[in-house]
């Protein structure tokens, strides 16, 4: 181990981070509860991990000026200090606590520690504008704000008190001051001085990816499912960034996927899957230029057989709607995601096994999974890829899902579409892994829960094997000559053209057909050179390509070559912007 290694191994946690030798790692539980009931609460996973594997590496933050690492024993003490820090600040059960930070120890602490104070954690996307963040702070009624030093300017003027982290882990860091004060305030009452919430259905998190509130029970069950489905174990290291990936995987991810940050929908409950599994988590916010890449691999290989990370696809093309999230929840960013399992010892191709999952913030992140079948091994790679792209079946601890005919008015009975792989319907879900509701918006909640199921807003076909495959967002359907054309399906076919690097399709008004598809295309560098000055030629070539693969009503009528596509802070294409452009060009 060289410079990185020595910077890391020279690190010492603050004195307040060191637990007493006789630490009792059990939350107080109300004696009014029945003997055979304990409220499902995901904070208990951390306490178990600290009890059973106290010296195991829990949290590693290597890629900063002052690298830090914490064992489970030390981390649990810091989380306890965090909870007491909240109590000291007068936080009551149910109060909202905002966190604006990139992947870092503070946000990891908050996702656990806020539960210890029975408050509600709200993690905020650091890529939002100040206006958007102001809205979230006001709408959530945050009582306390934790902010990373790099993002202080985004919370200036906020009315709630602000705790700044310099992300150093050193005693002179104001965030460390907060933790130390919490420890002092605790008077060494330890975990026994903090109570586990008796109600497993109260809100635990508030996520402005959709304005949803999640419950301890749902978080618990979703976290267990994520751990089981990814076969996470104490031999795993979960990466909140992608520094150690092989180059080709990095390219694949940079082009098509984004690594899941911890602030995104509370990290899809992975923060608790990790503690459930006694795994190690490594946090960073520097995807591309981790100067510690090779050292880190050496460091981690000592501890781990398996590297895991989550990423989500940016090709679902939804608008940003942070500000209107709570008001118009179904307008929100949904996600495709893949959890990868890098298993150096396995015989898998390139040593990594993708686990394709699908979900929404309203479902705590993933709630379906694509389950590979042994019969697929006999298929061609492209056939296999098609099957692997399906969103699959409800996953472990989820209730079964359905695909239903889109309802037209409230009170309509939900009717399943046939399982024919053709008829498009809406994915609806119910059960423990459905959010509690939209925060302070009973009407939006009631709308989303119409007919006794949560409406995902995702249009899909239901295959005979019971798996679902998303076709589009309901509003991304293009109604062309009375036919429903899926912009996603069109994009998929256009993207198979060798010159196309990236493509997005929206509807544009048409005098005869009502709407017709318009495609916005980015060309590969070489192709752009070749087609330069010959837009018409490329347009014809692409239309010909499309006609072979799509019905007439779905073939794009117009094609625009562009340098880039308008994207949100989380990398999703802003179709509203494209629709406006399409409308403007219709008027020319």
Q: Between 191 and 352, name the residue whose CB sits nearer to a second copy.
A: 191
Nearest approach, Cβ of residue 385 and a second copy (Å): 19
Cβ–Cβ under 8 Å, residues 232 and 274: yes
Euclidean distance between CA atoms 15 and 312, whole angstroms:
39
Q: Between 397 and 486, name the residue whose CB sits nearer to a second copy.
A: 397
Say which residues have a Cβ less than 8 Å from residue 572's Cβ, sequence separation at least 6: 314, 316, 317, 318, 319, 320, 333
Q: Between 431 and 566, name the residue whose CB sits nearer to a second copy.
A: 431
Q: Return the DSSP state at 37.
A: -
Q: Between 305 and 492, name the residue whose CB sits nearer to a second copy.
A: 305
Nearest approach, Cβ of residue 360 and a second copy (Å): 13
Q: Between 29 and 158, name the residue whose CB sits nearer to a second copy.
A: 29
Euclidean distance between CA atoms 266 and 85, whole angstroms:
21
Say which residues have a Cβ less than 8 Å from residue 482's Cβ, sequence separation at least 6: 514
Residue 554 backbone phi and psi in degrees, to 5:
-100, -5
Written as six digits, the tokens of 439 are: 């925060």
Nearest approach, Cβ of residue 419 and a second copy (Å): 7
Q: Between 234 and 286, name the residue whose CB sits nearer to a second copy.
A: 234
Euclidean distance between CA atoms 178 and 27, whole angstroms:
21
Nearest approach, Cβ of residue 513 and a second copy (Å): 36
Nearest approach, Cβ of residue 435 and a second copy (Å): 7
Q: Between 35 and 288, name the residue whose CB sits nearer to a second copy.
A: 35
Nearest approach, Cβ of residue 54 and a second copy (Å): 8
How many Cβ atoms are within 10 Å of 382's Cβ, its own excluded? 8
Nearest approach, Cβ of residue 38 and a second copy (Å): 3
Sign of the four-CA dihedral 22, 25, 30, 31: negative
Q: Between 313 and 436, name the residue whose CB sits nearer to a second copy.
A: 436
Written as six digits, the tokens of 574 are: 């802003």
Nearest approach, Cβ of residue 52 and a second copy (Å): 5
Give the residues lining the site for a second copy (CB under 8 A).
22, 25-26, 29, 31, 35-38, 40, 44, 47-48, 51-55, 215, 218, 224, 227-228, 231, 233, 276, 371, 373, 375, 392-394, 396-397, 399-400, 419, 430-432, 434-437, 449, 452-454, 464-466
Euclidean distance between CA atoms 215 and 436, whole angstroms:
6
Q: Between 51 and 331, name the residue whose CB sits nearer to a second copy.
A: 51
Cβ–Cβ under 8 Å, residues 350 and 366: no
Q: Between 131 and 420, name the residue whose CB sits nearer to a second copy.
A: 420
For tokens 């604006």, the residue is: 100
Q: Return the DSSP state at 117.
A: T
Euclidean distance between CA atoms 73 and 521, whole angstroms:
52
Cβ–Cβ under 8 Å, residues 556 and 483: no
Euclidean distance between CA atoms 582 and 579, whole angstroms:
5
Nearest to 184 by CA among 14, 11, 12: 14
Residue 297 backbone phi and psi in degrees, to 5:
-60, -45
Nearest approach, Cβ of residue 452 and a second copy (Å): 5
How many Cβ atoms are within 10 Å of 28's Cβ, its own excluded? 13
Nearest approach, Cβ of residue 425 and a second copy (Å): 15
Nearest approach, Cβ of residue 342 and a second copy (Å): 18
How many Cβ atoms are within 10 Å of 13's Cβ, its own excluded? 19
Nearest approach, Cβ of residue 179 and a second copy (Å): 24
Q: Between 88 and 419, name the residue whose CB sits nearer to a second copy.
A: 419
Q: Between 56 and 149, name the residue whose CB sits nearer to a second copy.
A: 56
Euclidean distance between CA atoms 155 and 137, whole angstroms:
9
Euclidean distance between CA atoms 183 and 172, whole angstroms:
16
Q: Return the DSSP state at 333.
A: -
User: Which H or E element spans position 531?
Assistant: helix 525-531
């Amino acid at each position: 181990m060289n410079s990185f290694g020595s910077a890391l191994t020279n690190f010492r946690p603050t004195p307040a981070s060191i637990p007493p030798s006789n630490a009792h790692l059990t939350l107080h539980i109300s004696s009014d509860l029945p003997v055979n009931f304990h409220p499902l609460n995901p904070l208990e996973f951390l306490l178990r991990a600290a009890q059973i594997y106290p010296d195991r590496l829990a949290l590693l933050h290597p890629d900063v000026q002052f690298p830090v690492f914490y064992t489970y024993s030390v981390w649990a003490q810091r989380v306890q200090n965090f909870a007491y820090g909240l109590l000291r600040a007068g936080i009551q059960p149910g109060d909202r606590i905002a966190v604006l930070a990139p992947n870092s120890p503070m946000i990891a602490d908050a996702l656990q520690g806020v539960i210890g104070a029975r408050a509600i954690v709200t993690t905020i996307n650091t890529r939002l504008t100040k206006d958007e963040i102001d809205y979230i702070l006001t709408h959530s009624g945050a009582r306390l704000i934790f902010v990373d030093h790099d993002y202080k300017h985004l919370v200036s003027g906020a009315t709630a008190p602000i705790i700044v982290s310099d992300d150093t882990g050193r005693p002179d860091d104001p965030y460390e001051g907060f933790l130390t004060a919490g420890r002092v305030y605790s008077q060494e009452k330890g975990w026994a001085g903090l109570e586990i919430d008796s109600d497993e259905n109260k809100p635990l998190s508030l996520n402005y990816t959709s304005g949803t509130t999640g419950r301890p029970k749902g978080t618990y069950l979703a976290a267990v499912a994520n751990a089981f489905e990814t076969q996470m174990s104490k031999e795993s290291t979960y990466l909140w960034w992608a520094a150690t990936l092989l180059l080709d995987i990095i390219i694949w991810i940079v082009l098509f996927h984004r690594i899941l940050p911890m602030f995104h929908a509370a990290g899809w409950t992975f923060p608790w899957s990790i503690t459930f599994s006694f795994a190690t988590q490594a946090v960073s916010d520097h995807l591309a230029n981790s100067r510690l890449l090779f050292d880190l691999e050496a460091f981690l290989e000592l501890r781990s057989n398996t590297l895991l990370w989550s990423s989500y696809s940016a090709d679902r093309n939804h608008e940003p709607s942070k500000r209107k999230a709570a008001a118009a929840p179904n307008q929100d960013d949904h996600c495709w995601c893949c959890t990868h399992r890098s298993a150096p010892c396995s015989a898998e191709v390139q040593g990594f096994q993708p686990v394709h999952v699908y979900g929404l913030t309203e479902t705590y992140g993933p709630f379906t999974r694509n389950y590979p079948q042994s019969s697929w091994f006999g298929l061609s790679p492209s056939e296999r890829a098609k099957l692997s792209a399906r969103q699959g079946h409800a996953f472990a601890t989820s209730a079964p899902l359905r695909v239903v005919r889109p309802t037209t008015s409230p009170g309509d009975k939900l009717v399943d579409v046939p399982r024919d792989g053709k008829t498009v319907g809406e994915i609806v879900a119910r059960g423990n892994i459905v959010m509690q509701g939209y925060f302070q918006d009973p009407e939006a909640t009631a709308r989303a829960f119409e007919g006794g199921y949560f409406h995902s807003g995702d249009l899909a076909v239901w295959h005979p094997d019971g798996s679902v495959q998303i076709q589009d967002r309901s509003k991304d359907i293009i109604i062309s000559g009375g036919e429903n054309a899926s912009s996603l399906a069109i994009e998929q076919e256009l993207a198979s053209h060798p010159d196309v690097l990236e493509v997005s399709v929206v509807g544009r008004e048409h005098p005869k057909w009502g709407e017709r598809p318009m495609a916005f295309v980015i060309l590969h560098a070489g192709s752009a050179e070749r087609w330069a000055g010959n837009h018409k030629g490329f347009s014809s070539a692409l239309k010909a390509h499309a006609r072979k693969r799509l019905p007439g009503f779905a073939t794009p009528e117009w094609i625009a070559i562009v340098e880039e596509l308008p994207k949100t802070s989380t990398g999703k294409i802003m179709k509203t912007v494209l629709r406006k452009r399409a409308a403007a060009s219709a008027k020319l």
